[in-house]
Amino acid sequence: MSSLFSTINMSVHLLKDSSKLCIFNQLQPKRSNLILLCHHHHDEVESLSSSSSSWPSIKSCDANYVALTPISFLQRAANVFSERTSVIYGPSSITYTWEQTHTRCLKLASALVHHVGISRGHVVATLAPNVPAIQELNFAVPMAGAVLCSLNTRLDSAMLSTLLMHSEAKIIFIDQQFLQLAQEALSIISSKNTKPPLLVIIISEKSNNSITNTWDYESLLESGDRDFAIRWPITEFDPISINYTSGTTSRPKGVVFSHRGAYLNSIATFLAHEMSTLPIYLWTVPTFHCNGWCMIWGLAAVGGTNVCLRSVSPKEIFESISLYKVTHMGGAPTVLNMIVNTPSCDRKPLPHKVKIMTGGSPPPPQMISKMEELGFGVIHFYGLTETHGAGTYCLWKPEWDSLPSDERLILKARQGVQHLCVEEVDVRDSITMKKVPADGVTMGEVMFRGNTVMSGYLKDQKATDEAFRGGLFHSGDLAVKHPDGYIEVKDRSKDIIISGGENISTIEVETVLYSHPAVLEAAVVARPDNHWGQTPCAFVKLKEGYDVRSQEIINFCRDNLPHYMVPRTVIFQDLPKTSTGKIQKSILREKAKALGSLF
């Protein structure tokens, strides 16, 4: 396969219509059909003001223009924070400085180019937990001019093989923990008369590479040259990574990130996370999810320390915070739920306030309250894979400090306003594209516009066109806009329940369920109803030691919700989740559908 974008470096010159957002494909036949997104005013090689006769001599040049890329964060960190600790990994007693990390990434990039044969635009895949090698690969792969594809560690072999073939990965770095899974996937690929990617094994702390005819990570890295000349992006719209969506509602799609989008979202995210210089960040967010919400690059910009965790447990979280004096971390509400329900014997006092970003699904206000009681400062953000992760955050206003506790928590549970690098976040009618009133009641679809929106879906022009219709990115999330301009997500469009013509927000019902003292986790979906069309069906996991009947849960909801929003059915079970902690409602919807009408 030829490189993903060996022929697109001249593409930006082709955009001449100053009134349109253009999605185009300039790849030759049989090459990966990478969709790129460009705006006419981003043509970085044209005159800065070529259409104006008043400024004929003002042009971009090497002195005043450099393509934006998060690779530059690492180069700067090696100079500015050279002796600062870059990464800590307890099980292997690994500690590197930023200067050492920079050197290792240069050597790895060199090895990819000169020993593996990676060319510009080739895809390099990874399948590994949050270990130091993943931090290095997020820099080394784009330094080699290639495109990183970090894959979900909870995939089965069939889906893994599908995504490897779809991305046309040339090489895959596999943590030894997932070696059997990878070998099964590669066998499936071979059985389809397709050449599988080269396998490189990331050796765990307790084992050695006993597989013949394969590279191991450290040997490959050490074969490289520390004086490697970085392959900087030709344009800042070149792809830096492919992130496959989690597939909670549909088949995963390959979301293409650009160097420009990754650079800007990294900056916006660490600003939203209230990071000053030299933070210590605990990796509880999977690094394969939106490149760790772009924090894996952003930490280099501020000289932060990456504290890596192979697996996440409440005990390890508290121990790591205590041992390494962690200042920041992130996690879906399921991680917050894990923390607030940690047994007292596994808790340790926090050395200081730890700022934790949470997103993926709305955290119930009572969960935020319990986190703050433990000494965490919760920063609520909202975004999608298609927005490079965070796109909005609940920017706290000082005047809210004097409000009663209940009011403060309700405000903090909102998704807020766009971050610094998003041009527009709005709530609109998905058909007419008209803005909904900022009344906190009228629902519409959340839509984005700006530099941190994805380039497009890999090999899926139809889905890209649909996502960008009307000149905005359609999130598929339903929300209201409050008079102060803050948005509040009410549901996914596929999750909303319509009962007797009334819209029911499953998030509102779940918030009430989470306030029950016996409920550990909850999810609400639609169950068919012959009279009302649909009624709420609640799936609940109880806290250990509690024995509660479904009628008690229903009665509790009746005391706290309008009658039509109360679940008619309550099912007690473990809730299926994606690897990022999102509850897989698609599975629960099918189960509720199979139940049929209650009457």
CB 255 within 8 A of CB 457: yes
pLDDT attached to residue 163: 94
Least confident of 37-41, 66-70, 219-223: 37-41
pLDDT over 70 percentage in the chain: 88
Cβ-proximal residues to 255 (8 Å cutoff; 6+ apart), any chain? 242, 243, 244, 245, 385, 386, 454, 457, 458
**405 part of a folded domain:** no
Q: Are residues 93 and 124 in the same domain?
A: yes
Give strand pairing partners of 150: 126
Report helix angle 333-340 to 365-373, nearest 10. 50
- Strands 354-358 vs 198-202: parallel, antiparallel or unpaired: unpaired
**480 part of a folded domain:** no
Q: Are residues 75 and 47 in the same domain?
A: no
Q: Are residues 105 and 57 in the same domain?
A: no
pLDDT attached to residue 360: 79
Q: What's the N-to-C CA distance of the chain in angstroms?
A: 57
Least confident of 35-39, 93-97, 160-164, 451-455: 35-39
CB 428 within 8 A of CB 472: yes
Q: Are residues 15 and 133 in the same domain?
A: no
Q: Would the pLDDT of 47 be above 90?
A: no
pLDDT attached to residue 244: 94
For the segment 243-260, the average pLDDT, to the nearest whole number, is 81
Q: Would the pLDDT of 35 be above 90?
A: no
Q: Are residues 119 and 95 in the same domain?
A: yes
pLDDT over 90 percentage in the chain: 74
Give strand pairing partners of 391: none
Supply the pTM of this predicted model: 0.84
Neighbours of 489 (CB within 10 A): 22
Residue 24: its H or E element:
strand 21-24
What pLDDT band is residue 364 in, cutting at 50, 70 and 90?
A: confident
**334 part of a folded domain:** no
Q: Smallest Cα–Cα separation from 590: which of 533, 516, 526, 523?
A: 526
Give strand pairing partners of 376: 354
Q: Would the pLDDT of 211 be above 80?
A: no
Of 249, 279, 311, which marks where a domain is finished? 311
Q: Would the pLDDT of 501 be above 80?
A: no
Give strand pairing partners of 489: 479
Can you tell me which residue has the tokens 């934790």?
356
Number of domains in the chain: 3
Can you tell me which residue has the tokens 């939106």?
290
**326 part of a folded domain:** no
pLDDT attached to residue 207: 58
d(CA 248, CA 256): 19
d(CA 278, CA 248): 36
**408 part of a folded domain:** no
For the segment 363-370, the average pLDDT, to the nearest whole number, is 90
Residue-wise DSSP of 412-478: HTS-BEE-TTEEEEEEE-TTT-PBPPSSSS--EEEEEEETTS-SEETT-HHHHHHHTGGGSEEEEEE
Q: Would the pLDDT of 51 be above 80?
A: no
Q: Are residues 77 and 60 in the same domain?
A: no
pLDDT attached to residue 333: 87
List pLDDT tens digits, range 120-162: 999 999 999 999 999 999 999 999 999 999 999 988 899 899 9
Of 286, 311, 336, which marks where a domain is finished? 311
Q: Would the pLDDT of 165 be above 80?
A: yes
Q: Smallest Cα–Cα separation from 331: which of 369, 300, 297, 361?
A: 361
Q: What mean pLDDT value characterizes the chain?
A: 88
Q: Would the pLDDT of 36 be above 50?
A: no
Asked whether the CA dihedral 126, 130, 131, 133 is positive or negative, the reply is positive
pLDDT attached to residue 128: 97
Q: Are residues 30 and 170 in the same domain?
A: no
pLDDT attached to residue 11: 36
Cβ-proximal residues to 305 (8 Å cutoff; 6+ apart), any chain? 84, 85, 86, 87, 88, 278, 279, 280, 281, 299, 324
- Secondary structure letter of residue 345 according to DSSP: G
What pLDDT band is residue 252 in, cutting at 50, 70 and 90?
A: confident
For the segment 457-467, the average pLDDT, to the nearest whole number, is 95
Cβ-proximal residues to 79 (8 Å cutoff; 6+ apart), any chain? none
What pLDDT band is residue 52 in, cutting at 50, 70 and 90?
A: low
What pLDDT band is residue 20 in, cutting at 50, 70 and 90?
A: very low
Cβ-proximal residues to 551 (8 Å cutoff; 6+ apart), any chain? none
Give strand pairing partners of 571: 539
Q: Are residues 207 and 266 in the same domain?
A: yes
List pLDDT tens digits, range 512-558: 999 999 999 999 999 998 888 899 999 999 999 999 999 999 999 99
The token pair that represents 237 in the structure block:
């719209």
**493 part of a folded domain:** no
Can you tell me which residue has the tokens 């939203």?
272
Q: Would the pLDDT of 359 be above 50?
A: yes
Of 283, 311, 339, which marks where a domain is finished? 311
d(CA 272, CA 393): 7
Q: Are residues 4 and 30 in the same domain?
A: yes
CB 355 within 8 A of CB 377: yes
Q: Are residues 156 and 252 in the same domain?
A: yes
The token pair that represents 155 in the structure block:
């995939």
Domain holding 194: CATH number? 3.40.50.12780
**376 part of a folded domain:** no
pLDDT attached to residue 260: 98
Give strand pairing partners of 536: 526
Domain holding 563: CATH number? 3.30.300.30
Residue-wise DSSP of 471-512: GSEEEEEEEEE-TTS-EEEEEETTT-EEETTEEE-HHHHHHH
d(CA 120, CA 238): 10
Q: Smallest Cα–Cα separation from 123: which of 77, 163, 87, 86?
A: 163
438 burial level (CB within 10 Å; 0-12, 13-18, 19+): middle
d(CA 260, CA 297): 12
136-139-140 Cα angle (round to 5):
75
**77 part of a folded domain:** yes
CB 296 within 8 A of CB 281: no
Our separate counts of H helices and E strands in the chain read: 17, 28
d(CA 549, CA 130): 39
pLDDT attached to residue 154: 84
What pLDDT band is residue 363 in, cutting at 50, 70 and 90?
A: confident
pLDDT attached to residue 246: 67
Q: Are residues 54 and 151 in the same domain?
A: no
Q: Would the pLDDT of 44 be above 50?
A: no
pLDDT attached to residue 71: 98
3-class DSSP assignment, residue 202: strand
Q: Are residues 129 and 213 in the same domain?
A: yes
Domain that residue 550 falls in? 498-595
Q: Phi, psi (5° rounding) for residue 558?
A: -60, -30
**Quick one: how far is CA 193 from the chain centroid?**
33
Neighbour-count burial for 415-429, b at 16+ CB within 10 Å, e otherwise: bbebbebbeebbbbe
For the segment 458-468, the average pLDDT, to the nearest whole number, is 95
CB 391 within 8 A of CB 451: no
